[in-house]
Amino acid sequence: MTANRATLLALASRVEVATGADSGLDSEIHHAILNGVGVGSYGAQPAYTASLDAAMSLYITIPERIPSNPRLATAEALRQRAIAGSLTDD
């Protein structure tokens, strides 16, 4: 089970306004998406806000154009997940 729409949208907004890579946000994203599966300790999750490859792993469907900034790509992917999740919520 992943986070709800409001949580994902709030995370996307926080990621978008961050001024650089943020391992704290990376941890929150990882917990929101995977409920912390694969996190052994603080900072052991993918660097979504620093790595475009990690950010791309969050997309459900890869769009034609992806922001070159990992933070912006992460925010976009989180919004995509929020929208997709709201379509399946009862």
Is 68 exposed, middle or buried, given 0-12, 13-18 or 19+ CB atoms closer than 10 A?
A: exposed
Residue environment code for 30-42, b if the CB has 16+ CB neighbours within 10 A, otherwise e? bbbbeeeeebeee
- Residue 87's identity, in one-letter code, is L
How do residues 21-50 score in pLDDT, each as one tens digit?
999 999 899 988 887 666 555 557 899 999
How do residues 43-73 score in pLDDT, each as one tens digit?
578 999 999 999 999 999 999 999 999 999 9
Judged against a pLDDT cut of 60, whether residue 88 lies above it is answered with: no
Number of domains in the chain: 1
- Which pLDDT does position 90 carry in this prediction? 41
- Print the domain residue range for 47: 5-88
The whole-number average pLDDT for the span 74-81 is 96
